[in-house]
Structure 1
Amino acid sequence: MNHVIRATTAEDWQSVKHLRLDALRDPVANIAFLDTYEAAAARPDEFWQDRAAGGGELLARQFVAERADGGLDGAVTVLVERAGRQDVLGGQIEADQAHLVGVFVRPEQRGSGLARALFDAAIAYADGLDDPKVSRVRLYVHQDNERAEAFYRKTGFIRSGQSVPVPGDESSVEHELVLDRAV
């Protein structure tokens, strides 16, 4: 693997935007993301600048896999959710936790270990936080995204038993997976 895994900076906003738009054109984007290409493409530059810098209402850190030529081949974002607040899906947060979102690796890099390297960086970041100190790391996966769930299980995630309806598609659910610290 000839990539550097690193956190994004404000200067990365254009690359972050292009990678996200590519992710939203992926054939499984409709079950992998709660966003659309059209909505993302219409967002102003300020949105992408804030996203790359980790700004906004939530404490967030995006990690990317950067090639030697500067191109990006993958990303994952860690959202830190505080106890007592609502999470991104409207549930009540009982303890400070990290929520992994926006997972994407370009198709030609899948199976190369790149996704695992991104997850290792994201989990290390979450585990290294002191304020807040997160009690768990979680993510959601669509019921039909078997490939993604198989990867998450390989990295130590297990189903928590919680599921939520997919916004805009009440006939489908997303399963919550949590990092099994015993693995």
Structure 2
Amino acid sequence: MTALEEFNKTIDQHEEWIKRLTNSEREALFVAERDGEIAGFIMFQSPDRKRAAHTGTFGIMISKEHRDQGLGKLLLKTLLDWAEKHPLIEKVSLAVFSTNERAIALYKKFGFIEEGRKVNEVKFGENEYADDILMYKSVK
């Protein structure tokens, strides 16, 4: 839901975020590289709360110039393979804009199910809204 002008973290902040994800027992970061540059990534974050430690949410980003090349499918498959083998993770969740029909179709193809909606959660402009669709997949 972040707007372009809100991407203002420093390099040090990004490095800390990457270290936290890669050093965590229940979190992960997978990166797709093409021709020596980052083409996209998928990250999985799991809450510290004991009763929710079996769950987590992911976010995925593919750069515009690398879309329509199967990277989203590859990254999602990599994450789900990791989650299925992970001894603690049982449920993988996500939130996606209702306007992102291609992503929704991909998630459904991988077995994700809609479990709820935040109606008009995102405002793009004057009288222009999208729902935030909450989806999940059980991996155990």
Give the alignment's TM-score, normalised by structure 2.
0.76
Corresponding position of 2:112: 157
State the alpha-carbon separation in 2 of the partners of residues 167 and 96 from structure 1: 28
Residue 125 in 1 paired to residue 82 in 2? yes
**Match for 2:2 among 35, 42, 47?**
35
Question: SS at 1:47's partner residue?
Answer: helix
Shift of 1:84: 5.5
SS at match of 2:27: strand
5+ residue gaps, structure 2:
none
Name the counterpart of 1:138: 93
Aligned mate of 2:135, from 169, 174, 177: 177
Alpha-carbon deviations, 1:132-171, whole Å to 9, x = none?
Answer: x1221111111111111111112221212x12252668x5
- Give the Cα separation in 2 of the matches to 1:51 and 1:75: 13
Please list, as runs of the form range in 1=range in 2, the aligned pairs for 1:64-103 lying within 5 A after superposition. Answer: 64-67=31-34, 69-83=35-49, 93=52, 96-101=54-59, 103=60
Letter in structure 2 aligned against 1:66: E
Question: Where does structure 1 lack aligned partners over 5 or more consecutive residues?
Answer: 1-33, 86-92
Change (3 A) 1:106 1:127: same
* Contact 2:92/2:139 (8 A) holds in 1: no
**Correspondence for 1:147 among 97, 102, 105:** 102
State the alpha-carbon separation in 2 of the partners of residues 100 and 38 from structure 1.
22
Q: Is the 8 A contact 1:97 1:135 kept in 2?
A: yes
Length-normalised TM-score, structure 1: 0.61
Mapped partners of 1:111, 1:180: distance in 2: 27
| Match 2:11 to one of 34, 42, 45 | 45
The alpha-carbon deviation at position 119 of structure 1 amounts to: 0.8
